[in-house]
């Protein structure tokens, strides 16, 4: 940036405060001229313009200088600016007064694009131009972009501005001198549009040109009745026949994900909207507007002072809403003028007449909406179907944000809507309009569809024209494969793959599969403030072998309300819990799902009506009318909120403090796989996968925290624990000894040491230790020891059969058999994983046989221990390749009547990276500085720096 960039910002702030009321209106038949008589010291001219015409002259300047190298010959330079195909083109010409010839140089033409969502300067929005003259340099800045520099050819003297023309040029641009350099300039007309904030500055001299009378410094020549208080909207419309334009104003919304944003209402007492609609889609958003701008409501910092004020304001009066949507093929209107949301009832004949009431029939229907001092009239096909009167005219005005969103919404506006108006169902569920709209007229202004189709938000799925073959069934050829369900829609078909093991347009692509090990989750943080919804849609495809688990929840301890949507697995069956502000309402489904097979659950709520299905077994319930809204701020998949609050078991004291949270851990976590996760129209698995590469998904960047692992059916390492250092240990003391058991676990180590120590009461022990990348088994029988080398790490299984006096130890697929002392039974009493630091007295005994007496550093997962008690007649009936469940099972995370568990310096989850270097893509390494909050995502992280006072990727700038 140039060194005077800060001066420009200060200058801009100053001038906007001085001259924001007068607006120069030019109609293509006139232009404004300003003559200057100043010293020409560091001159600046600033102005803003808006227009809809893409090819026209915008300004011209006459610049004067003295050539020092040609005996002070006077030279005039002319700076011409014009729009060509929507871009600003600036040309600099030199005119030598003696030869009367024009010179053009290659470096004296610049083409600059405006900053515009519409990819044009002719977008009816205000754009800024700053022209600076410094000695013999001409600098131009458009819309705060980097400046461009032009140099008059052959000049090195002082340049000053003598004359400025806005909206035209005193040069005859059609003559051959100019058309030879600029072939298209001969077809350009004068400017049609508006200018404002026209400021001239030279040294200490500061002149707002539209509000300053003629002085010795400035002489202004303004067209009659051109200096107005507002910009005439007629100047921003294309000069075309409106009847002809209507025929070309139809657009098709072909798929969800696009919308139009047109000029709407700001503060209105009277207003009218008319349009033509044609669709076969039953549900979708047609028009939406409210009184909040995008990103305005939610503060970045939860501690911002206006937070409570916003909440208080919503409770008192709410925000103004204007929305029209389709529900089951019929129009539904929502209005709030400040006294609360109103859903006007349609006339009875609207519902009695199937042909008129149902408009999703593929035919054209004309819609008229009239707002008049709080009253509302809606006509369909020329007949009145809604008349709503406010009675007492307390709330006559409708205060909106100046825009109508047509056919859909940006995600930021959806989240605002979720907070201020949960009644707009299509906005909540992301049900965009699919079909045709045309002849859209707001207060007698036809929409500019050529302009509105240019932004990135409308390009993907908004097309010109209206083509519909309502009689064609696009599912006739059965395009969906692998038992996917075909849905015929607007000129297209859609495949529902949620009941298959495939994805993609025709259910032929490999799906995204995510594994959850019990300490993993997908956490969606919708908002720092509670949002409300009256409708939800959830689709989940999963598999698990566990009869108890916790699939998802919206419950939040931060919220004072008990609201929640929860899905649990209890005794092998799904239980759905809904709380809308009073009590937990529990709904059960009879499909058994703990069979390690894929199952699909779908939940649809419309206020107090609930549809709950598992594998196409459908159930419908009526939720008690103790409330309509679900208040929530996040959704957690794979964990309960309680289990996420305890991620470190550091000391025995801390462990005892958190024992209530760890006890019955299986009912607070999910262990299994998920293939489909759709919530209110968002495919969150696809969103997580494409978050880094798709700009349209960036709004979710700071809202997703993902520790679950993308998987291709690999074995799930369940309930992993990290042994942080050589003193980390888990000790399990059995209440009753056992001579028959099966012990299994996965291990991964970073530093070598003791992995497993099995002790009985007769000094006959088994020790597994990691040495040089391999496991070594030590069998100690009284004072003797036998060592066995049994291969590399991974899956370890220890099987003790009482009848054979043998112990089988398998590491991956390699087996080792240890023959026990015949004279003494091996009655297992104590299991140590990791360090033996709790039994220091045994060090001397074992140090002669072990490489290290300290524990390993690494991870343990999928620990299982099944056993029978020696005096119990129940037997395991152990087989090497086919083990049967025991009567007793050890959970190594909490104590109970049959076991006592002690843990020291153990962390939930496996947090050792295979890399020797700092992993900046994993939150376990804590790369965020100055207490920034790390948000884990797939193969990347995001740092939330909002509470740090710093910025940058790692909150360090």
Confidence label for 313 from pLDDT (cuts 50, 70 and 90) = very low
HSE, CB side, 13 Å, CA atoms: give it for residue 203: 8
pLDDT in tens, 905-948: 888 888 765 544 445 666 766 778 777 778 777 777 788 776 66
Strand order, beta sheet including 284-290? 260-263, 403-406, 284-290, 321-327, 330-336
User: Averaged over 894-912, what is the pLDDT?
Assistant: 78
Query: At residue 814, does pLDDT exceed 90?
Result: no
Quote the tokens at residue 479.
């395009």
Q: What distance in Å separates the CA atoms of residue 500 and residue 490, rounded to the nearest whole number?
A: 24
Which three-class secondary structure state does DSSP give residue 956? coil
Location of structure tokens 């500061």 = 206
pLDDT at residue 656, rounded to an integer:
33
- Comparing 462 with 712, the larger pLDDT belongs to 462
Q: Taking the CA atoms of the chain, what radius of gyration do you get in angstroms?
A: 37
- Measured CA to CA in angstroms, residue 293 lies from 77, 318, 485, 532, 533 at distances of 45, 15, 39, 19, 20
User: Averaged over 674-681, what is the pLDDT?
Assistant: 96
pLDDT at residue 355, rounded to an integer:
53
For residue 271, count other CB atoms closer than 10 A to its CB.
16
Q: What is the DSSP string of 798-819?
A: EEEETTTTEEEEEETTEEEEEE
pLDDT in tens, 158-216: 788 999 999 998 765 555 555 555 656 667 899 999 999 999 999 889 899 998 888 89
- Measured CA to CA in angstroms, residue 14 lies from 17, 18, 130 at distances of 5, 6, 14
User: Averaged over 484-488, what is the pLDDT?
Assistant: 91
The sign one gets for the Cα dihedral 215, 221, 223, 227 is: negative
Query: At residue 649, does pLDDT exceed 50?
Result: no
CATH topology for 513-711 is Jelly Rolls (2.60.120)
Q: In CATH terms, are 5-235 and 725-908 the same topology?
A: yes
CB-based contact 637:522 (threshold 8 Å):
yes
The rounded mean pLDDT for the chain is: 80
Q: Per mean pLDDT, which range of 138-152, 444-458, 544-558, 638-652 is the poorest? A: 638-652
CB-based contact 534:632 (threshold 8 Å):
no
pLDDT at residue 5, rounded to an integer:
47
CATH topology for 5-235 is Jelly Rolls (2.60.120)
Q: What distance in Å separates the CA atoms of residue 190 and residue 213, rounded to the nearest whole number?
A: 25
Confidence label for 702 from pLDDT (cuts 50, 70 and 90) = confident
- CATH number 3.40.50.300 given to 242-464: no
pLDDT in tens, 578-629: 999 888 999 999 999 999 999 999 999 999 999 999 998 999 999 987 778 8
pLDDT at residue 191, rounded to an integer:
96
Closest alpha carbon to 631 in 537, 550, 552, 559:
559
User: Averaged over 277-286, what is the pLDDT?
Assistant: 93
Provide φ and ψ at 607, rounded to 5°: 55, -105
pLDDT at residue 303, rounded to an integer:
36
pLDDT at residue 129, rounded to an integer:
96
Question: What is the pairing mode between strands 531-533 and 630-632?
Answer: antiparallel
Q: What distance in Å separates the CA atoms of residue 415 and residue 871, rounded to the nearest whole number?
A: 63
Alpha helix segments (H runs only) across 104-179: 176-179
Q: How many helical (H) and strand (E) elements, i.e. helices and strands, does the chain have? A: 14, 67
pLDDT in tens, 494-515: 899 999 999 999 999 999 999 9
Q: What distance in Å separates the CA atoms of residue 481 and residue 510, rounded to the nearest whole number?
A: 13
Q: Per mean pLDDT, which range of 1-10, 48-57, 135-144, 518-527 is the poorest? A: 1-10
Quote the tokens at residue 680.
């209110």
Query: At residue 316, does pLDDT exceed 50?
Result: no
CB-based contact 165:60 (threshold 8 Å):
yes
DSSP state at residue 385? E
User: Averaged over 25-53, what is the pLDDT?
Assistant: 92
Query: At residue 241, does pLDDT exceed 60?
Result: no
Which three-class secondary structure state does DSSP give residue 674? strand
Question: What is the pairing mode between strands 549-553 and 634-637?
Answer: antiparallel
* Contacts of 420 by beta carbon, 8 Å cutoff, 6+ apart: 290, 292, 297, 314, 318, 319, 321
Where does residue 831 fall: left (phi above 0), alpha (psi -120 to 50 degrees), or beta otherwise?
A: beta
- Comparing 295 with 143, the larger pLDDT belongs to 143
User: Averaged over 405-431, what is the pLDDT?
Assistant: 89
* Contacts of 204 by beta carbon, 8 Å cutoff, 6+ apart: none
Query: At residue 824, does pLDDT exceed 80?
Result: no
**CATH node for 473-509:** 2.10.25.10
Instruction: Point out which residues pair with 521 in neighbouring strands.
Output: none
Q: What distance in Å separates the CA atoms of residue 665 and residue 720, rounded to the nearest whole number?
A: 13
HSE, CB side, 13 Å, CA atoms: give it for residue 90: 23
Location of structure tokens 């001219």 = 45
CB-based contact 744:785 (threshold 8 Å):
no
Q: What distance in Å separates the CA atoms of residue 724 and residue 906, rounded to the nearest whole number?
A: 7
Closest alpha carbon to 941 in 707, 694, 690:
707
Query: At residue 867, does pLDDT exceed 60?
Result: yes
Provide φ and ψ at 8, rounded to 5°: -65, -40
* Contacts of 841 by beta carbon, 8 Å cutoff, 6+ apart: none
- Measured CA to CA in angstroms, residue 189 lies from 26, 82, 754, 824 at distances of 12, 10, 87, 108
The sign one gets for the Cα dihedral 712, 715, 718, 723 is: negative
Provide φ and ψ at 749, rounded to 5°: -120, 155
Q: What distance in Å separates the CA atoms of residue 414 and residue 294, rounded to the nearest whole number?
A: 9
CB-based contact 417:287 (threshold 8 Å):
no
**CATH node for 725-908:** 2.60.120.200
* Contacts of 263 by beta carbon, 8 Å cutoff, 6+ apart: 124, 402, 403, 404, 442, 445
Provide the residue count of the chain.
Answer: 957
Query: At residue 123, does pLDDT exceed 90?
Result: yes
Which three-class secondary structure state does DSSP give residue 409? coil
Alpha helix segments (H runs only) across 581-709: 641-644, 652-657, 659-662, 684-690
Q: Per mean pLDDT, which range of 76-85, 306-315, 510-519 is the poorest? A: 306-315
Query: At residue 834, does pLDDT exceed 80?
Result: yes
How do the domains of the chain map onto residue ranges?
5-235, 242-464, 473-509, 513-711, 725-908
Which three-class secondary structure state does DSSP give residue 665? helix
Closest alpha carbon to 689 in 511, 536, 954:
511
For residues 228, 233, 238, 242, the Cα torsion angle rounded to the nearest 10 degrees is -130
Confidence label for 957 from pLDDT (cuts 50, 70 and 90) = confident
Which three-class secondary structure state does DSSP give residue 412? helix
Please, what's the largest Cα pairwise distance for the chain? 125
Confidence label for 659 from pLDDT (cuts 50, 70 and 90) = very low
- Percent of the chain exceeding pLDDT 90 equals 35
Quote the tokens at residue 930.
């100055």
pLDDT at residue 314, rounded to an integer:
35
Instruction: Point out which residues pair with 757 in neighbouring strands.
Output: 767, 832
Location of structure tokens 């999928």 = 862
CB-based contact 573:592 (threshold 8 Å):
yes
Quote the tokens at residue 945.
């720096």
Query: At residue 901, does pLDDT exceed 70?
Result: yes
Helix (H) or strand (E) holding 306: helix 306-316
DSSP state at residue 108? E
* Contacts of 500 by beta carbon, 8 Å cutoff, 6+ apart: 482, 483, 484, 507
Query: At residue 3, does pLDDT exceed 70?
Result: no
**Whole-prediction pTM value?**
0.82
DSSP state at residue 315? H
Quote the tokens at residue 391.
């009675």
* Contacts of 695 by beta carbon, 8 Å cutoff, 6+ apart: none
pLDDT at residue 33, rounded to an integer:
96
pLDDT at residue 645, rounded to an integer:
57
The sign one gets for the Cα dihedral 213, 218, 223, 227 is: negative
Q: What distance in Å separates the CA atoms of residue 568 and residue 632, rounded to the nearest whole number?
A: 18
Quote the tokens at residue 395.
């709330």
- Measured CA to CA in angstroms, residue 396 lies from 336, 337, 343 at distances of 11, 7, 17
Output the CA angle 735-739-743, nearest 5 degrees. Answer: 80
pLDDT in tens, 342-390: 887 665 555 455 556 789 988 999 999 999 988 889 999 988 877 777 6
pLDDT at residue 384, rounded to an integer:
85
Q: What distance in Å separates the CA atoms of residue 373 and residue 370, rounded to the nearest whole number?
A: 10
């Amino acid at each position: 940036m140039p060194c005077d960039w800060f001066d420009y910002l200060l200058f801009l702030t100053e001038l906007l405060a001085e001259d924001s009321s007068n607006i120069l209106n030019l109609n293509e038949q006139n232009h404004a001229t300003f003559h200057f008589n100043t010293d020409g010291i560091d001159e600046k001219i600033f102005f803003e313009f808006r227009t809809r015409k893409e090819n026209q002259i915008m300004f011209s300047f006459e610049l004067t200088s003295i050539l020092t190298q040609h005996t002070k010959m006077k030279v005039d330079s002319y700076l011409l600016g014009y729009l060509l195909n929507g871009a600003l083109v600036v040309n600099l010409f030199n005119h030598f007064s003696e030869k009367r010839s024009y010179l053009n140089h290659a470096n004296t033409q610049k083409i600059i694009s405006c900053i515009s969502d519409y990819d044009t300067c002719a977008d009816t929005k205000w754009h800024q131009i700053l022209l600076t003259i410094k000695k013999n340099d001409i600098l131009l800045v458009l819309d705060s972009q980097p400046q461009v520099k032009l140099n008059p050819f052959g000049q090195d003297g002082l340049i000053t501005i003598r004359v400025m023309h806005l909206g035209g040029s005193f040069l005859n641009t059609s003559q051959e001198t100019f058309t030879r350099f600029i072939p298209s300039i001969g077809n350009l007309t004068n400017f049609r549009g508006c200018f404002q904030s026209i400021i001239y500055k030279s040294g200490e001299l500061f002149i707002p040109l539209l509000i300053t009378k003629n002085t010795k410094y400035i002489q202004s020549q303004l067209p009659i009745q051109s200096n107005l208080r507002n910009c005439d909207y007629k100047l921003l419309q294309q000069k075309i026949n409106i009847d002809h334009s209507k025929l070309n104003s139809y657009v098709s919304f072909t798929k969800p994900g696009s919308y139009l944003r047109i000029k709407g209402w700001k503060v209105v007492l009277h207003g009218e909207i008319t349009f033509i609609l044609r669709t076969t889609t039953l549900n979708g958003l047609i028009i939406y507007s409210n009184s909040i701008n995008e990103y305005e409501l939610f503060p970045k910092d939860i501690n911002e002072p206006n937070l409570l004020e916003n909440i208080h304001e919503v409770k008192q009066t709410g925000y103004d809403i204007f929305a029209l949507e389709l529900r089951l093929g019929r129009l539904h209107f929502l209005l709030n003028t400040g006294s609360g949301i109103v859903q006007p009832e349609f006339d009875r004949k609207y519902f009695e007449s199937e042909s008129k009431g149902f408009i999703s029939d593929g035919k054209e229907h004309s819609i008229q909406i009239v707002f008049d001092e709080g009253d509302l009239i809606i006509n369909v096909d020329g007949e009145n179907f809604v008349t709503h009167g406010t009675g007492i005219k307390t709330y006559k005005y409708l205060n909106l944000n100046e825009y109508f969103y047509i056919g859909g919404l940006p995600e930021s506006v959806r989240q605002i809507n979720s907070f201020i108006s949960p009644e707009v169902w299509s906005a909540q569920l992301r049900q965009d309009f699919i079909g045709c709209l045309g002849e859209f007229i707001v207060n007698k202004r036809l929409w500019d569809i050529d302009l509105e189709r240019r932004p990135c938000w409308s390009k993907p799925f908004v097309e010109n024209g209206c083509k519909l073959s309502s009689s064609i069934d696009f599912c006739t050829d059965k395009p969906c494969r692998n038992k996917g369900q075909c849905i015929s829609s607007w000129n297209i078909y859609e495949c529902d793959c949620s009941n298959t093991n495939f994805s993609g347009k025709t259910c032929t692509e490999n799906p995204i599969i995510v594994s959850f090990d019990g300490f993993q989750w997908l956490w969606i943080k919708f908002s720092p403030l509670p949002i409300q919804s009256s409708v939800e849609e959830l689709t989940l495809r999963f598999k698990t072998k566990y009869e108890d688990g916790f699939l998802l929840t919206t419950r939040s301890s931060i919220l004072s309300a008990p609201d929640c949507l929860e899905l649990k697995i209890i005794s092998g069956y799904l239980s759905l819990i809904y709380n809308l502000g009073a009590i937990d309402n529990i709904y059960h489904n009879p499909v058994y799902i703990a069979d390690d097979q894929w199952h699909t659950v779908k939940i649809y709520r419309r206020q107090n009506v609930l549809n709950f299905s598992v594998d196409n077994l459908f159930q419908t319930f009526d939720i008690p009318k103790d409330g309509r809204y679900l208040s929530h701020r996040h959704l957690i998949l794979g964990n309960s909120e309680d289990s996420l609050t305890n991620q470190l078991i550091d000391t025995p004291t801390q462990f005892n403090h958190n024992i209530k949270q760890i006890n019955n851990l299986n009912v607070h976590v999910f262990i299994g796989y998920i293939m489909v996760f759709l919530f209110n129209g968002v495919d969150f698995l696809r969103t997580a996968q494409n978050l880094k590469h798709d700009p349209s998904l960036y709004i979710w960047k700071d809202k997703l925290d993902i520790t679950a692992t993308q998987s291709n059916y690999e074995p799930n390492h369940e309930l992993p624990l990290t042994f942080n250092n050589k003193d980390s240990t888990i000790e399990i003391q059995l209440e009753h000894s056992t001579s028959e058991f099966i012990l299994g676990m996965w291990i991964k180590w970073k530093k070598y040491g003791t992995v497993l120590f099995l002790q009985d009461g007769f000094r006959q022990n088994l020790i597994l230790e990691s040495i040089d990348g391999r496991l070594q088994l030590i069998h100690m029988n009284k004072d003797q020891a036998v060592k066995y080398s049994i291969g590399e790490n991974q899956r370890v299984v220890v099987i003790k059969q009482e009848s054979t006096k043998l112990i089988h130890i398998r590491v991956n697929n390699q087996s080792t058999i240890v023959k026990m002392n015949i004279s003494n039974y091996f009655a297992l009493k104590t299991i140590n994983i990791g360090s033996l630091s709790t039994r220091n007295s045994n060090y001397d005994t074992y140090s002669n046989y072990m490489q290290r007496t300290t524990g390993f550093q690494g991870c343990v997962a999928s620990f299982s221990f099944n056993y029978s008690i020696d005096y119990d007649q129940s037997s395991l009936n152990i087989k090497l390749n086919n083990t049967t469940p025991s009567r007793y099972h050890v959970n190594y995370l909490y104590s109970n009547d049959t076991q006592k568990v002690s843990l020291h310096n153990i962390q939930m989850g496996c947090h050792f990276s295979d890399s020797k270097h700092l992993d900046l893509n994993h939150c376990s390494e804590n790369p965020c500085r100055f207490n920034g909050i790390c948000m884990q995502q797939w193969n990347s992280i995001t740092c939330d720096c909002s509470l740090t006072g710093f910025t940058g990727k790692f909150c360090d700038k």
